Every structure is written in C-alpha cells, then in structure tokens.
Amino acid sequence: MIALREMARLKSAGATAWHFARWWVDELAGLLPQRLSAPAVEDALILAPSADLSTATLAVESGRQRQPLGRFALAAPEAAAHALRAAGILRAVRAGHMPVVLRLPQALVSRQQLELPIAAQSDLEEAVGYDLDRRTPFSREHAVFAVRLVRLEPARKRLIAEVVVTPRATLDRALQAPRALGLEPSRVEAADAAGESASGDLLRAAPSGANRPGRERDRAAWGLGLVAAALVAALVWLPISLAQRRAADLAARFEAAKRANVAAVRLQHQIDELVQEDRYLLDKKRAAPNPLRLLLDTTRVTPDTAWLTEWDMTGEEVRLTGNAVSASGLVDALEHSQIFTGTAFLSPVTRQPDGRERFSVSAHAVAATAQPQEAKR
C-alpha cells in the first residue's frame, strides 16, 4: 500500500511538472516577435472610402483572397467598430498582427505616365518629386505621390514611369475614415477599377516608425528577456552613474564660471580701451586752441597803434590783416606774446595815404596750456 501511494504521488508530481513546462513554453512563444511567429502571408485590414468620402467599405485580404466585411457611414462608425471588435480584428490590429491599409478610389487620385532620363532609375522617387510641380498640377509640398517603373527604353536612354498623386488635403479628409474607427493606417495606396491595389505606398515619406504598433511590440518583447539582467546591472551602475553625473555637473559649473570670468576680463579690456579712446579725444580737444580765447588774447597783445580788419583761424594758423603805424612792431609784439610763434608777413607791407602801413601776417598758435598764462599776464 505504501509503495502504491508513493507511485501515485510521483505520478501526480510528474503531471504537474509537465503542465508547468507546457505553460512555460507557451508563454515564451507568446513573447516572440510577430515576424518570427506570424505566418508568411499576413492578413491586412483594407479600408476603402467612397469618392465623396461619406462611406467606406471594410475587407480583410490575405494574399489574393479577399473577405468583405461590409460598408459603414463615416458619420456613424459605431456599428462597424463593434463588428470589428467582436470579430477580434481590432485586437489584432492594435497588437500589430494585422496592418491597416487605406485604399483610395480612382476619383481621388491622379495617375499619369512620365518620360524621364534613364539615369533617374537609381532614385526614381526623388527625380519625380523634384519635377512634380511642372509635370503635374500639384507641388511636392501640397501632395503625396507614389511612382513605379513601367519600362526601360535603352535605345533612347529614356524610361517610362507611372506616378500616382493626390493632394494632401484630400488625403487628410480620407484619413478620417480609419480614424473614425480609432485606427491609423500603416499604408496608403491607390485602387484600380476593380478595387485592387494599383500603386505604391503614398505614405513613403512618413516616419519609418509611424503607425507601426507591431514594431513597438517586437521591441518590447525582445526587451523582456533583458529586464532581469538590466535590473541587476542597474544596482551596480546607479551609484557610479550618480557620481559621474555629479562630477559632470560640477565640471559644467566650473566651465561656465570660467567662461564668465573670461568674458568679464574681455569686457573690462574693452571698457579700458573705450575710456582711453575717450580720454585721447578729450585731451586732443583740450590741447587744440580755443578760437574765442585766442581772439581775446590777440586783442590784448595787439598794440594800440594797430587796427585789425580781418582775423581768420585755420587749424592752429591765424591770419591777421589790417593797418598799423608800424607793421614790424606788430609782428614783434605777436612773437613775444608767448601766444603766437612763427609770425611772418604773407605779402609786402604797403604804406597808406594816411601814413599807416597795410599788413597781412600769419602766426602759429602755441599749445593751449600756455594761453591761460599769457591771458593772466
């Protein structure tokens, strides 16, 4: 009896271990990224708005198979959202298992063929976008487009490309259809007459990570395997990081103070230079002869027997014209006045009928510092 009980207990423990191992493997499989666990052919939710953007049809495509889900009005999307939720489609979309494709009708796009140099084949989209406003009614800033190569003509060194373009405003209004259901398309394409895909992705210029929830889920799944190691590493790295951050903060403060000190020294040098320039100009102004003071001093040193008819000053040169009983006596008085120096006649002295002498002399005014001393005398 005891042996039977032991065998039963061991059998129960083995069954429990088997169920636990199976559950653990299933959980690990659920953490695998979608691109490793999903089938090769991926279902896609197709949303095709009408030309007037009042209704939209829903379908699920898998390869070449298409399963219609019905039509809904954009003004009342609640029933369609409920049907998608009941069918588990909304959960699959939000989990990243099913992409959403917005397929525009022919009436909302413009399709035409362009002839380009064969060298444009290496970057066909950029070549068409560069010349889009000249070859189509739309500019690149106000339109989205997709381009595909139709054929090459090597003999003519040309190629034929088909471009599908629609205004951005039209695309924004068409995006209201999936957004009414709380969905964001990962691809926008144009449809042919049968409603099938007939263009490349019109959202090629969109950020590569936009509208790709599955990619975010993949990154999160891969990250779960590193959480435990990251937590252990954080316990060791955190104190070191805090110390490094504190040291970097102190270094930044020191560098900022150093830059401020250098700026202050530079500013002080600029102030000193401005002060020196100002003093230089002021000293030059003070050293220059004062015309009014010089005229007053001229009248004081001029003998009473001389009369001035003209007094002119240019720079530091003064010109005197007038009549005097003795012109040479006037020159002698100016030369010994300590106000003028280098006194000389500008023209010969002429004697007037009244006996006085007509003169014209020039003299150089001495430094301004000597003028007040002469004025005091």
Q: In the prediction, which pLDDT does 155 show?
A: 92
Ordered strands of the 143-153 beta sheet? 110-117, 158-167, 143-153
Top-confidence residue, 9 or 202: 202
Please determine, for residue 173, whether its predicted confidence score (pLDDT) is greater than 50.
Answer: yes
Q: Which amino acid is at 274?
A: L
37-223 placed in CATH 3.40.50.720: no
**45-66 mean pLDDT:** 86
Could you report the per-residue pLDDT of 27-36, keeping only the tens digit for each?
554 554 444 4
> CB neighbours (10 Å) of residue 293?
15
Q: In the prediction, which pLDDT does 211 show?
A: 41
**311-339 mean pLDDT:** 86
- Residue 289: what are its φ and ψ, rounded to 5°? -60, 140
Please determine, for residue 18, whether its predicted confidence score (pLDDT) is greater than 70.
Answer: no
Place of tokens 């490094």: 244
Minimum mean pLDDT range among 218-227, 250-259, 353-362, 368-377: 368-377
pLDDT band at 349 (very low <50, low <70, confident <90, very high): confident
Q: In the prediction, which pLDDT does 214 show?
A: 42
Please determine, for residue 3, whether its predicted confidence score (pLDDT) is greater than 60.
Answer: no
Q: How far apart are CA 52 and CA 175, in angstroms?
A: 13
Q: How far apart are CA 200 and CA 146, in angstroms?
A: 5
Task: Pull the structure tokens for residue 218.
Answer: 């993949």
Are residues 98 and 42 in contact, defined by beta-carbon separation less than 8 angstroms?
A: yes
Q: What sign does the CA torsion over 240, 246, 252, 254 have?
A: negative
Mean pLDDT of the chain: 78
pLDDT band at 321 (very low <50, low <70, confident <90, very high): very high
Please determine, for residue 283, whether its predicted confidence score (pLDDT) is greater than 80.
Answer: no
Please determine, for residue 265, whether its predicted confidence score (pLDDT) is greater than 70.
Answer: yes
Cβ neighbours of residue 233 under 8 Å, at least 6 residues apart? none
What is the Cα Rg of the chain in Å? 50
pLDDT band at 141 (very low <50, low <70, confident <90, very high): confident
Please determine, for residue 14, whether its predicted confidence score (pLDDT) is greater than 70.
Answer: no
**306-333 mean pLDDT:** 87
Please determine, for residue 149, whether its predicted confidence score (pLDDT) is greater than 70.
Answer: yes
Superfamily designation of domain 291-376:
General secretion pathway protein M, EpsM (3.30.1360.100)
Strands (E), the chain: 44-49, 55-62, 65-73, 100-104, 110-117, 143-153, 158-167, 187-190, 306-314, 317-324, 340-345, 350-351, 357-365
Top-confidence residue, 361 or 215: 361
Q: In the prediction, which pLDDT does 61 show?
A: 86
> CB neighbours (10 Å) of residue 125?
17
Please determine, for residue 17, whether its predicted confidence score (pLDDT) is greater than 50.
Answer: yes
Are residues 349 and 357 in contact, defined by beta-carbon separation less than 8 angstroms?
A: yes
Are residues 337 and 320 in contact, defined by beta-carbon separation less than 8 angstroms?
A: no
Q: In the prediction, which pLDDT does 13 show?
A: 55
Q: In the prediction, which pLDDT does 307 show?
A: 86
Could you report the per-residue pLDDT of 78-94, keeping only the tens digit for each?
888 888 888 788 888 88
Q: In the prediction, which pLDDT does 34 show?
A: 43
Distance of CA 329 to the CA centre of its chain: 82
Please determine, for residue 137, whether its predicted confidence score (pLDDT) is greater than 60.
Answer: yes
pLDDT band at 4 (very low <50, low <70, confident <90, very high): very low
Do 37-223 and 291-376 have matching folds? no
The domain locations on the chain are 37-223, 226-287, 291-376
Name the nearest CA neighbour of 117 among 154, 158, 160. Answer: 158
